[in-house]
Amino acid sequence: MSNPAAAYSAGAVARRLGVAVTTLRTWHQRYGMGPSLHEPGHHRRYTEQDIKRLELMQRLIFEGVAPAEAARWARRPTPDAPVAAPLAAPDLTPAIRGLNRAAMRLDAPAVRQRIAEAVRELGVIAAWDGVLRPVLAAIGERYAATGELIEVEHLVTGCISAVFGAVPQPAGEVPTRILLACADDEQHSLPIEAVAAALAADGVPTRSLGARVPPEALTAAVRRTGPAAVLIWSQIRSTGGPAQLAAILAERSRPLVVAAGGPGWHRPSVPAGVVLPDSLTEAVVALSSALT
């Protein structure tokens, strides 16, 4: 067990962390992560608390956080408290690390490039599930814990939306028979944008109403466009009122497929006849089935 009162030289700390002494000096000079114990006539020495901070900084850097941000996070008053730092997970892929680094720098061109590469190499849904959603989830956890990184979340969200919107659209003569919308007061529209982009990549056009669609507006759109399939997305429980689904089912020319996507729906309350996809892949399959 470590001794909180112990003091350590730079060499001892470097060996413990597996870094060079020059790295410790750099962290001290650039980021203020130096030894805190100072006795007159002696070199400054590191305490156990100092080492905890350095270990946290080192881990965050390894997980893709920029050194300055990692140091700022590690200098919190309680570095040994549970950490909700960005992407603190053991199985990060290079794509997630790269996107996280660019996001923490607020480097919009690099963020867009990383997102576009993931979509190009993996496909829209696999990129969303394997890269984009984990990054957004980690940023959301950090915000919930500290109130920080709103600016990062906004930048990443905007870049994801731009990349999804840039997926080539099907030819104009292909009829649009799928309607996408967020539930009433639901602001999380990226999932339906991902569905739209995935369908576009398969040559299927969609009509999207975006975020916060009131039930009367949704039913009006169903009447006016006569879609074969509708997807309504609810991310949080407060937006998943089943009445908005029942209103669509009550339409005389109701769609062949009515799907309620997202974790916001209370499943036992969802009306019979509504499809409840467990993933965006299932949502795409359900919507596409109405076209065959």
Quick check: 54 pLDDT over 80? Answer: yes
CA distance linking residue 184 with residue 275, whole number of Å: 18
> What is the pTM for the complete model shown?
0.74
Residue 230, classed as helix, strand or coil, is strand
Residue 239 DSSP code = G
Q: 113: how many CB neighbours lie within 10 A of its CB? A: 16
Mean pLDDT of 118-136: 94
- What is the SS3 assignment for 173? coil
Query: Residue 186, class by beta-carbon neighbours within 10 Å (0-12 exposed, 13-18 middle, 19+ buried)?
Result: buried
Res 65 pLDDT > 90: no
Nearest residue to 280 via CA among 288, 272, 271: 288
- pLDDT exceeds cutoff 70 at 208: yes
Assigned token pair, 191: 């999932």
pLDDT tier at 226 (50, 70, 90 boundaries)?
very high
> What integer is the mean pLDDT of 84-95?
60
pLDDT at 78: 56
The answer for residues whose C-beta is within 8 angstroms of residue 155's C-beta and 6 or more apart is: 103, 106, 108, 111
Look-up: residue for tokens 């099907």? 170
pLDDT of residue 5: 57
- Rounded Cα–Cα distance for residues 102 and 66 (Å): 9
Identify the pLDDT of residue 276.
Answer: 96
Q: Indicate the pLDDT class of residue 58, thresholds 50, 70 and 90.
A: confident
User: Residue 3: what pLDDT?
Assistant: 53
Percent of the chain at pLDDT > 90 equals: 61
Asked if pLDDT for residue 89 goes beyond 50, the answer is: no
Angle at the Cα of 154 from the Cα atoms of 142 and 190, rounded to 5 degrees: 95
pLDDT at 1 over 70: no
Rg (CA), the chain: 25
* CB-count exposure of residue 159 (10 Å: 0-12, 13-18, 19+): buried
